[in-house]
Amino acid sequence: MLIPELTVAFNKNFGLELKVTQVYGALKNHKFTSGRKGQFTKGHIPWNVDSKGKKLTGANSGSFKKGQHCPNKKPLGHERICKKDGYVLVKVSEKNPHTASSERYKHKHIVIWESINGPVPKNHVVTFVDGDKGNFDKHNLKLIHRDLLCRFNQARVYGLPNELIPTMKNIVELKTKIQQRDI
């Protein structure tokens, strides 16, 4: 019985004038339920068995057929620029840890560095020596510890003009090594 119907029947049976919201609140406060769980019971027969209703719930003309692929699917090696941070991303054949897909996009500079040197060690990042995110020369890619990257960010190295970035990085690295020796 729906709650408005229940309210009318309850008021009639007990001679009261309760509102629908009052009955609803009482049911909720005392944890009365209808007994329905919102699931089909075992052996339930669907409404469209042996009817033309299957046409309404089946595949339509726009549905993919078995083995058909999306027409705008990009091939491996496809590159795009990330709108968030401006890095170039490349599609690689590697399991995506977030979606379990067999393909994913990965930063191009990391793919290049890993093809030359192997996987990036834990707590390390690959950076651009000259600060140019479009310069993928193997001599422009450098592996640094995350702590050093933190120092670069504290010194606002990446906000400087591109000509000054390598010099400022060297100064920050030198200061960091001096501090580590003093400890």
Domain count, the chain: 2
Q: What is the pTM of this model?
A: 0.58
Q: What residue numbers bound the domain in which 12 lies?
A: 1-32
CA 130, CA 163: separation in Å to the nearest integer? 7
Report pLDDT for 58. 66
**1 inside domain:** yes
In a domain? residue 90: no
In a domain, 18, yes or no: yes
Residue 162 lies in a domain: yes
Residue 128 belongs to a domain: yes
Residue 175, domain member (yes or no) = yes
Q: Kindly give the parts of the chain with pLDDT less than 70.
A: 51-59, 183
The pLDDT value recorded for residue 109 is 94
Q: Is 78 a member of any domain?
A: no
